[in-house]
Amino acid sequence: MEKIAGNLIFIGMMGAGKTTLGKQIAQILNRPFYDSDHEICKHTGVNIPTIFEMEGEQGFRNRETAMLDKLTGNSNIVLATGGGAVVREENRGLLRERGTVVYLHSIPEVLLERTRYDTNRPLLQVADPLAKLQELYNARDSLYRSTAHLTVESGHSRETVENLLKKLSLNK
């Protein structure tokens, strides 16, 4: 397969498969893989719920912007962003300018199935996680779409990988 030029950046809702798919694509393309949330945790020495608890969402978003700037300064990486990375205009511009951005789209009902038992997602620690996912989806879907160079439906992993690789080879 011909090499895809530049960074490949995955955006989308929590549970869309950005990390899972990103790791698979990075392996296929023989590139380093980074997950911005994981890198924030590694850098701070604490998990994301702790950052939210200590610094609030705004504090976390500040750390996220700094980490995205750092990571996208690299060349030819595969990057999975956190679900809320697109809420800041600064991040949206940074991602679009420094790579090919892929929106992994999935509906809230599917996202709930994938995230239901994950306690490391502070925004879902509410009485009605489906309503919260729907609210986040309604607020972010247009931001994801305006940031992405292409959109891929997030389904079964292998099919999604094959679909994405086909789309990327056509978008050169």
- Structural domains of the chain sorted by starting position, each given as residue range(s) with its CATH number in brackets: 8-165 (3.40.50.300)
Q: Is 80 helix (H, G, I), strand (E, B) or coil?
A: strand
Q: How much is the pLDDT for 44?
A: 96
Q: Identify the band that residue 99 occupies on the pLDDT scale cut at 50, 70 and 90.
A: very high
Query: How does pLDDT run across 105-126, given as a tens digit for each residue?
Result: 999 998 888 887 676 676 677 7
Query: How does pLDDT run across 14-46, given as a tens digit for each residue?
Result: 889 999 999 999 999 899 999 999 999 999 999
Report the C-alpha gap between 18 and 13 in whole angstroms.
9
Q: Identify the band that residue 1 occupies on the pLDDT scale cut at 50, 70 and 90.
A: very low
Please answer whether residues 18 and 80 qualify as being in contact, where contact means their C-beta atoms are separated by less than 8 angstroms.
Answer: yes
* Of the candidates 153, 150, 155, 154, the residue with the CA atom closest to the CA atom of residue 169: 150
Q: Identify the band that residue 127 occupies on the pLDDT scale cut at 50, 70 and 90.
A: confident
Report the C-alpha gap between 26 and 92 in whole angstroms.
22
Burial class for 151, CB neighbours closer than 10 Å (0-12, 13-18, 19+) = middle
Strand segments (E) across 54-117:
78-80, 100-105
Looking at every residue in the chain, the average pLDDT score rounds to 88
Mean pLDDT of 83-89: 95
